[in-house]
Amino acid sequence: MEKVNTSIRNQSIYVHVADQQNTKQMKVPHLHHDYEIYYLVQGERFYRIQGQEFKVHENQMVFIDRNTLHQTFEKQGVAHQRIVLNFHGSFLTSSYEGIIQELFAEGPHVLTIPDQDIALFNQLFYKMTEEYQAHDPYAQLYLQNLLSQLLIESRRILTTHEENIFVDKRYQHHVSELLGFIHSYYYLDLSLRFLSERFHLNEHYISRMFKQVTGYSFTSYVNRIRVAEAERLLKETNLQVNQIASQVGYTTNVHFYRMFREIVGIAPSAFRRKKE
């Protein structure tokens, strides 16, 4: 079974610009529990989503749904520059659920930006990069507005370029299904037996697959997802630590504190003070 990397981000939005000099080579497929927009500013790249491979060209955007296996490769001898944007569904209000459904859940989609809109999209992406790096109390609000505009403009392209829909999603690998469920319902009382009954898979098979694919045991993986979400809540909300512990799936504060310190290295309260 091929190894898969899983990215667990502890922030609601992430923006990263890179070129061939500082793009980390993706040796194995990966997935994550947030949405991704991959914008190729210059050059060409090869992309693989759910086992299907294709070429991405300059001024194209790839929309990747949560928990979807994907991987990029460089085209030898061709320079490139790209911007990657990831965000949680909670970063925007519920009024954007329909747009997100069209662009991500009903995809993946590759959209070619029309010539007359390239300057607009470049401005949106680079302004988001600036705001992401800014230390300003209103930067998050500005990012929400910029992301909203980006999604709306992208949907308008989608409605006139339906040939960009390219992947048949009838086939879902066990890895995607299981990790997708855990990323969505990490706060439940999850166990191998629970997953076995829900997905009609052998408990030992699930346990072995988790270790082989993620490099972690099932329990360790769930704890890492819960702690990553706790980090985000500590940074972005004023919830009390015991409320956060309960919200991410821990039934006792003692267990939460122990797992948080083991994974992050410091206590939750110290982590919050450090980020203030």
More confident of the two residues 32 and 257: 257
Domain ends where: 164, 189, 219? 164
Give the range among 24-33, 59-68, 80-89, 188-197 with minimum mean pLDDT.
Answer: 24-33
pLDDT, residue 167, reads 38
More confident of the two residues 248 and 158: 248
More confident of the two residues 164 and 223: 223
pLDDT digits (tens, 9 = 90+) for 52-70: 777 888 999 999 988 888 8
Q: Give the pLDDT mean for 136-145.
A: 93
185 HSE (CA, 13 A, CB side): 12
Q: Residue 135: inside a domain, yes or no?
A: yes
Using pLDDT thresholds of 50, 70 and 90, give the confidence band for residue 171.
very low
pLDDT digits (tens, 9 = 90+) for 176-216: 788 888 988 999 999 999 999 998 888 877 887 777 667 77
CB 155 within 8 A of CB 103: yes
What is the CATH number for 224? Answer: 1.10.10.60
How many domains does the chain fold into? Answer: 2
pLDDT digits (tens, 9 = 90+) for 250-275: 999 999 999 999 988 999 999 998 87
Q: Give one DSSP letter per residue of 74-124, joined into a string.
A: EPTT---EEEEEEE-GGGS-GGGHHHHIIIIIT--EEEEPPGGGHHHHHHH
pLDDT, residue 71, reads 84
Q: Give the pLDDT mean for 74-83.
A: 78
Domain ends where: 164, 183, 207? 164
Q: Is 81 exposed, middle or buried (0-12, 13-18, 19+ CB in 10 A)?
A: middle
Share of the chain above pLDDT 90, in %: 46
- The residue type found at 157 is I
CB 97 within 8 A of CB 65: no
d(CA 102, CA 256): 37
pLDDT digits (tens, 9 = 90+) for 106-118: 777 889 999 899 9
Q: Which residue range(s) make up the domain with 158?
A: 5-164
pTM, two decimals, is 0.64
Instruction: Name the DSSP letter for residue 217.
Output: -
Using pLDDT thresholds of 50, 70 and 90, give the confidence band for residue 170.
very low
What is the CATH number for 107? Answer: 2.60.120.280
Q: Residue 113: inside a domain, yes or no?
A: yes
**Token representation of residue 67:** 């928990």
More confident of the two residues 237 and 171: 237
Domain ends where: 138, 164, 190? 164
pLDDT, residue 169, reads 42
